[in-house]
Structure 1
């Protein structure tokens, strides 16, 4: 039987990260590749308590269908949270609960883009979102990153040269994969360019609550007086990725279309998970929980940077980090990055090659991504040591 696939999916490739994950689970492999939170950051005891209470007192609420827009008390709580915590949300906005923040990217593209439209994104950027955009046959235009965020000069050039651009996709806090945080000045600059050229901004912020150093910066959505910003938030990094609860705060007409699209995808987000999130936000000390997991990541990052100085420097350099899950490492020009990543896997250390995050994976890239939050300290120590040894051996050759 010959299978004829749709035009939309014929050119899609498997996620490079998901393919690497297959090797990451091999016996004896030290996985520095996954984007997983630290296991010790999960509030497992509290989730167990909440679940038990739900099934004792109101089991049908957790087991029955619910509305597509999301569990109403959770929507109200998150709307208030976004206003109080981030100064975001206006009368023209509405909030939709999604199956993880990844679904926001899918629903936004499905609602707004036709085949041949353009999505402008940071280069590098998160491969999961890039593949969501590609699945709708849009063309991606990458804009290079600087140490304080997207290059505004190149962004303006891209907007001028791409009249079919529908939105700018950005991860302003601890960007995946680079770890870079966009400055307040650049956030204002991105917003002003979007306003001038009449395009939307898709602001993806899964890591913002994981800041363990430096000054917090308000999201671009806090600047939104014109209905230009679609904000994507998530509980994946602060409660549990397996629960698949995210949300979007966006102009009401856009949310209305996203709701219709979501009805055809999954009817509604897992209601049991939504109930847990609502209870955790309102009945437990969420602020104290965030402080606890920031402390976990602060200590893990401290260990990582000590290891990097000991084993990776000076051959491998990296971007500084003040939060998030990743370290973005750059190899010297005389080491082939793809070959380095392949040889690292042969030594049972798995990292993500940097070209997986590019709009065009064939473009040259000297960087790779490390996740430091998921592995145990002894695994992280051994993995960084092996990467440093490999870099020194390749330089010697």
Structure 2
């Protein structure tokens, strides 16, 4: 049969990362391509205890339908936590529990964008969000990154030129894939520009709790006195990605449209997952758990950096400094074919993600690739970087 796909999906391509997972599934391949938390990061014992208690004491709460807006205690506790810890949330805001932060991008874009509307994105940026924006036939315009975040001159130029720009998408903390953290000064400039040009900001902060060095920087949403920032948070990187629990904190009028869209998508996020998240953050020492994660990633990143300095830097591969998150952004010397390098790495049994996968224009030239240091074992991390170092030596 000749399947006639909708105009919205005709040009969509599979996620490059998900395609790479097919190679990474080979047990002989070292995968430095995933974005998964470390296996040691999961509070499996606590989740098991909570699950047993839920099913014994109040099973129907977890097994029955729930509100689209989310499990009420979880909404209340997350709202209070974000207000107390990060000064996020004003009288005009409310909270929606979503099926992972990825759904925030989807519901937000569905609520706002018509075909041809423009989304201004960091270049590079997270492939999952870029594909979501593309799925609504939004036109993406990339804004280059400096060492301290989005280039503000380029952003303002884009805002002047793109009259139908709907919002600016940013990952200000330990950006995926570049690892860059936006400075406080640039966060203020970004907010001022969005207000001046009457566009919204979608602030995606999945890694904010995973700071391993440096000083905390306030969120852009904490500056929001005008109802122009939507904040996307998640429990994926701090409790479990498989449970699919995220949340949006946004102005109520905007959130109401996102709620209607969610009703047509999945009705509500898993009640079981929501209750587990609520009990974990309220009945266990959540702050101690976060510190455990930071210590874990501090140690793993230190090992990765030592091997990078030993194996890659002498072969002219550079990397961005980072203060947290899960990723390292590596750049090959000019003249080296990055896609060919990445393919050769696969043949040598190590997977990285080619950098062009993270661009608004995937056909644009790119010299970089992304490494994930959180999910491999220490032995795999060492082996994978050593293979990349030898490959670089051979190529150069």
TM bin, normalised by shorter chain, reads over 0.9
SS of 1:313's partner is helix
* Aligned length in residues: 395
The question of 1:159 aligning with 2:181 is answered no
- Aligned twin of 1:192: 192
Distance in 1, matches of 2:107 and 2:313, equals 42
- Aligned twin of 2:296: 296
Deviation at 1:321, TM superposition (A): 1.4
SS of 2:232's partner is strand
- Aligned twin of 1:264: 264
Cα shift readout 1:299-329 (whole Å, capped 9, x = no counterpart):
0011001000111113110001111000000
- Aligned twin of 2:355: 354
Matches within 5 A, 1:55-74: 55-74=55-74
Distance in 2, matches of 1:169 and 1:365, equals 21
TM-score (norm 1): 0.99
TM-score (norm 2): 0.99
Cα shift readout 1:45-76 (whole Å, capped 9, x = no counterpart):
11011001101100111100000000000000
Distance in 1, matches of 2:356 and 2:296, equals 30
Matches within 5 A, 1:168-207: 168-207=168-207
- Aligned twin of 1:54: 54
The question of 1:381 aligning with 2:382 is answered yes
Distance in 1, matches of 2:263 and 2:26, equals 38
- Aligned twin of 1:254: 254
- Aligned twin of 2:340: 339
**Any unmatched runs of 5+ in structure 1?**
none
Distance in 2, matches of 1:18 and 1:254, equals 31
Distance in 2, matches of 1:5 and 1:362, equals 23
Provide the alpha-carbon RMSD of the alignment. Answer: 0.5
Matches within 5 A, 1:1-397: 1-314=1-314, 315-395=316-396
Deviation at 1:230, TM superposition (A): 0.4
Distance in 2, matches of 1:56 and 1:362, equals 54
**Any unmatched runs of 5+ in structure 2?**
none
SS of 1:216's partner is coil
Distance in 1, matches of 2:157 and 2:21, equals 37
Deviation at 1:335, TM superposition (A): 1.3
Which stretch of structure 1 is more off in the superposition, 308-317 or 187-196?
A: 308-317
Deviating beyond 2 angstroms after TM superposition, the runs of 4 or more aligned structure 1 residues are none
SS of 1:137's partner is coil
Distance in 2, matches of 1:3 and 1:279, equals 46
Deviation at 1:334, TM superposition (A): 2.5
Distance in 2, matches of 1:22 and 1:69, equals 35
SS of 1:209's partner is coil
Distance in 1, matches of 2:11 and 2:341, equals 27
